[in-house]
Amino acid sequence: MSERDALAATIRADYDKRPPDRYPTEHALAEAVLAAGWRPPARLIESVEELDACVMETVIRDADTAVMERWNGGWVAVGYGVGQPKLSATVLWESGDPR
């Protein structure tokens, strides 16, 4: 089953459990989708300016698949030391991110 089919099945299941004369609200559907585990896509960093704006301890995966964390001295690749990430990079975690 594709991700799209799984999402459609989640929405359909929420519809089906309600009385025929009562459609779910957008909020109820959003709650059903979130409860099924959907999360928004990860943020992509496409420019040096976006990279420089990352807060300390932000974790990314760069275009070469290196996992790097932002520290005072720059970006530290796990197990390799300080380096410059290759763009585009996917944000895996940011300070204040509950994931």
Q: Are residues 53 and 31 in the same domain?
A: no
What pLDDT shows up at residue 29? Answer: 80
Q: What phi and psi values does residue 97 have, to the nearest 5 degrees? A: -80, 120
Is 76 contained in some domain? yes
What pLDDT shows up at residue 97? Answer: 54
Is 26 contained in some domain? yes
Beta-bridged to residue 87, according to DSSP, are none
Number of separate domains in the chain: 2
| d(C-alpha 69, C-alpha 60), whole Å | 6
Is 67 contained in some domain? yes
The terminus-to-terminus CA distance of the chain in angstroms comes to 25
Q: Per-block average pLDDT, block size 10, for the chain (99 residues)? A: 79 78 77 82 92 92 93 84 87 72
What pLDDT shows up at residue 99? Answer: 46
Q: Are residues 89 and 48 in the same domain?
A: yes
Q: Do the bridges between strand 44-45 and strand 81-83 make them parallel or antiparallel, or are there none, so unpaired?
A: unpaired
- Contact call for residues 27 and 71 (beta carbons, < 8 A): no
Q: What phi and psi values does residue 66 have, to the nearest 5 degrees? A: -75, 135
Q: Are residues 30 and 69 in the same domain?
A: no
Q: Which domain holds residue 48?
A: 44-93
Q: Are residues 23 and 48 in the same domain?
A: no
Give the contacts of 53 (CB within 8 A, at least 6 positions apart).
none
